[in-house]
Amino acid sequence: MEPVMADLQDELHPPAEVGELPQLLGAVPELCAPGSDQAAGLLERARALLAEHPVADGYSGLPWALRHLPWFDLEVGESAVDTDVPRLREGHVGALMWSLHLPEGLDGDRAVGATLEQLDLVKTVVRNHPEGLRLARTAGQATDARNCGRAAVLLGPAGAAALGDSLGILRSLPALGLRALTLTGVSRGSAAGLTRFGEEAPREMNRLGVLADLSGASDATVRRTLAVSKAPVLCSRSAARALRPHPANLPDDLLAELGAAKGLCMVPLTAEQTGPTVRDVADHLDHVRAVAGAECVGLSGTYDAGTAHPQELGDASCYPHLVAELLRRGWDEADIALLTWGNVQRLLRESDFTARAAQQRREPSTAKIAQLDG
């Protein structure tokens, strides 16, 4: 049983209904002048709030970035990347998901092998930085790591190409610690949705406790996965398409469906998807909260993923600036606590609960792609 301290959401007040939000989009007051007493006070409040409810970052590209460095020390500080232990502590990051995504062009056996190498690299990096990092798989383990002054490292999302169209490989990856898998980029998912074999993947992931990541999937694939999956899903790098028409961002109807299914939309801190300023990121967070609900929104730093970041959000130390902007807009502390930590904790707990139930009623799938898809 997970420690009681992992159930942080139980300490939070229920989120306000959409109609009760403190302000509407477009009715946000002007920013505080930088360096003003009000701005300094908001930043101090933000840091105090994050000390209690740290950030669970939904996407870090650090593993692939570290592969190209001949030497690094994340505990002392590493200027060649956006993420290291000092900046994680300054940004109050309590947990982060380390992406196992691979460069385009790797598929088949090469993709499987490269993913296993990524898993090995992550475990080596964490083992070599014990004062700052700790591997975690469950919500309770993430909380324990945070309470010990470490940042919890959760493995995933990995790319679907890592499966090589084999559910046997899928079953082996959670034993190595994988927590999330992206369902796009291979034959099982397309603009038309999931194939028959493709539907077996989220069902088997439910049984294994692996989260389905739908960022970048077609609208049809998102809808079909929401219908098939018994566990909540996440979009590890998706903002609001109504504000910025990026293909990985979600339209309002899908945001509403994701919220109804208790999934999680993790808004990326990238200039391409959310805009060039911290206010733009806050606009997306406002919009997702209004459309999908406070329990459906999270944060995805996407640091070290080769993307440009908005002003004031250049590396993993900058989360207090974003939280200060949300406080200025009138977000209450309960909703911010859900955004930064509580929603990811809930998703991990519900995924594990679904897995335990599914293992009681479902044997491992023996489906073959040739049998179902021809």
Q: Is 235 helix (H, G, I), strand (E, B) or coil?
A: strand
Across the chain, mean pLDDT equals 88
Per the model's pLDDT, the better-predicted residue between 204 and 372 turns out to be 204
Tokens of 275: 């805009």
Sheet holding 180-182, edge to edge: 133-135, 151-155, 93-98, 55-60, 297-300, 264-268, 234-235, 211-213, 180-182
Q: Which candidate, 163, 191, 58, places its Cα nearest to that of 106?
A: 163
pLDDT tens figures, 175-208? 999 999 998 854 454 455 677 777 888 999 999 9
Q: Is the pLDDT confidence value at 33 over 80?
A: no
User: Phi then psi for 183, rounded to 5 degrees?
Assistant: -100, 40
Which range is least confidently modeled, 68-82, 105-119, 185-199?
185-199
DSSP 273-301: HH-SSHHHHHHHHHHHHHHH-GGGEEEE-
pLDDT tens figures, 144-166? 999 999 999 999 999 988 887 78
Ordered by start, the domain boundaries in the chain are 40-362
Please tell me the predicted confidence (pLDDT) of residue 372. Answer: 61
Supply the angle between the helices 219-228 and 196-208 in degrees, to the nearest 10.
50
| Cα–Cα dist 231/350, whole Å | 7
pLDDT-derived band at 366, boundaries 50, 70, 90:
confident
**What is the CATH superfamily name and number for domain 40-362?**
Metal-dependent hydrolases (3.20.20.140)
Please tell me the predicted confidence (pLDDT) of residue 88. Answer: 98
Query: Do residues 296 and 258 touch, judged by C-beta distance below 8 A?
Result: yes
Q: Is the pLDDT confidence value at 21 over 70?
A: no
pLDDT-derived band at 334, boundaries 50, 70, 90:
very high
Please tell me the predicted confidence (pLDDT) of residue 185. Answer: 57
pLDDT tens figures, 293-332? 999 999 999 999 999 999 999 999 999 999 999 999 999 9
Please tell me the predicted confidence (pLDDT) of residue 15. Answer: 36
17 CB neighbour count, 10 Å cutoff: 9
| Cα–Cα dist 329/234, whole Å | 26
pLDDT tens figures, 235-265? 999 999 999 999 999 999 999 999 999 999 9
| Cα–Cα dist 285/280, whole Å | 9
Taking the model in full, what pTM does it have? 0.88
Stretch 18-44: mean pLDDT, rounded?
57
92 CB neighbour count, 10 Å cutoff: 25
